[in-house]
């Protein structure tokens, strides 16, 4: 697991990003933390940039779009590319918030009612961000990573990447024309 000091640094970085983050369509966040061989990549992206809408899907077309995006993000290569010596350990995402049917099988009865009430009150009709987190184990320290999400999420114009590794910290503004993060440079 992540060491306490690095975890605290990442939490501070996450908090700064959330506090500083304003919901702007076309702008996303990528937060990266390393602890020895473990790497965490967390995307925070406006739902409109992935789905084209920011609420519980109503039409059959919107439901299909949601399924398609879930399939894309569950295929890690569609989001981030790392060297072959890095293997995916786990992934999670917040798209279940837009899919009430998935609550029946994967979430507690109380949680289902809380999210349903949240939806019924219209809160998911407001601006919504999607969080997607990947944990990798890398045998060696990667020199770089490529944000491949920029290849297919055409309305995502900027991805603000911030990282903390065992050796350094840094930040870069990624665009579809330059979506490579170089660690150690």
pLDDT tier for residue 55 given thresholds of 50, 70 and 90: confident
Nearest-CA neighbor of 53 among 146, 125, 142?
125
* Residue 23: φ, ψ to 5°: -75, 105
pLDDT at 116 over 50: no
Domain segments of the chain as ranges: 4-182
- pLDDT, one tens digit per residue, over 78-90 is 999 999 999 999 9
To 5 degrees, how large is the angle CA 9–CA 97–CA 23? 55
Going from the C-alpha of 130 to that of each of 12, 69, 105, 118, the distances in angstroms are: 20, 11, 21, 16
**What pLDDT was estimated at residue 23?**
59
Degrees (nearest 5) of the Cα angle 79, 21, 48?
50
């Amino acid at each position: 697991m992540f060491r306490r000091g690095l975890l605290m640094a990442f939490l501070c970085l996450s908090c700064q990003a959330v506090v500083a983050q304003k919901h702007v369509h076309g702008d996303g966040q990528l937060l990266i933390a390393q602890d020895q061989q473990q790497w965490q990549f967390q995307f925070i992206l406006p739902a409109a940039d992935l789905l084209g809408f920011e609420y519980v899907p109503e039409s059959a077309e919107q439901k299909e779009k949601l399924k398609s995006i879930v399939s894309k993000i569950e295929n890690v290569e569609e989001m981030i590319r790392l060297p072959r010596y890095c293997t995916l350990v786990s992934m999670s995402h917040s798209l279940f918030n837009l899919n009430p049917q998935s609550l029946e099988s994967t979430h507690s009865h109380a949680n289902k009612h809380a999210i349903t009430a949240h939806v019924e009150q219209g809160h998911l009709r407001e601006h919504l961000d999607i969080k997607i987190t990947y944990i990798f184990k890398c045998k060696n320290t990667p020199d770089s990573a490529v944000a491949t999400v920029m290849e297919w999420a055409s309305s995502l114009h900027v991805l603000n990447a911030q990282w903390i590794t065992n050796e350094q910290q840094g930040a870069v503004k990624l665009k579809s024309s330059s979506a490579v993060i170089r660690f150690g440079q």
